[in-house]
Amino acid sequence: MNKKETNNSKKTIIQNYESNKMNTSEKFKNKKQKDLPWWVELLFVQIGLPDKFLIKILRTKKKANELIKNEKKSFFTFLFVFITLAYFYPVIKQASNKLDCGIIAKNYIIKNKNITGINNKELKMLSTNFCNGGEEIYEIENFKN
């Protein structure tokens, strides 16, 4: 009696294992058949773009993922350098504009004000003042007359 029960219990365990195995394969198939991503649904199902675009997009996405996976270090280095340059670009641009304004103001003062006997430091000071909205140049003209 005891041997029959163990044989029956082994059979039931094997049957349960096989049924669980079948259930997991069905679950796996269900997981494989996921819903389409929203962008595929919108562009290719609702709007009706050609399938060749989808193939190209997916191929490019796969290649990009492989490239990022293989070249992580160089990719992140490039990204860091790009973000750093983008962050400091406004500062560099403003400094460049101020230097250009100083040169233009210096040439303007030399041409139009006919100031003689003024050294380079004073001329630089006047041009910087003029670029920052100062009106000392006009006062110098009034002072001369």
Query: Mutual orientation of helices 120-131 and 136-144 as an angle, nearest 10°?
Result: 130
Burial letters 37-66, b for 16+ CB under 10 A, else e: eeeeeeebeeeeeeeeeeeeeeeeeeeeee
Cα separation, 137 vs 56, in Å, equals 64
Q: Give a three-class secondary structure readout of 4-61.
A: HHHHHHHHHHHHHHHHHHHHHHHHHHHHHCCCCCHHHHHHHHHHCCCHHHHHHHHHHH
Cα separation, 38 vs 43, in Å, equals 9
Q: Are 126 and 137 in contact (CB under 8 A)?
A: yes
Q: Pick the closest to residue 104 from 121, 84, 85, 128 (CA basis).
A: 128
Cα separation, 129 vs 113, in Å, equals 15
pLDDT for 145: 45
pLDDT for 110: 82
In order along its 145 residues, the chain shows pLDDT tens digits of 455 555 556 666 666 666 666 555 555 555 566 777 888 888 888 888 898 999 999 999 999 999 888 988 998 899 999 999 999 999 999 999 999 999 998 888 888 777 767 788 888 888 888 888 887 766 665 545 4
Amino acid (one-letter) located at 18:
E
Both tokens assigned to 116: 């003689």
Q: Are 122 and 104 in contact (CB under 8 A)?
A: no
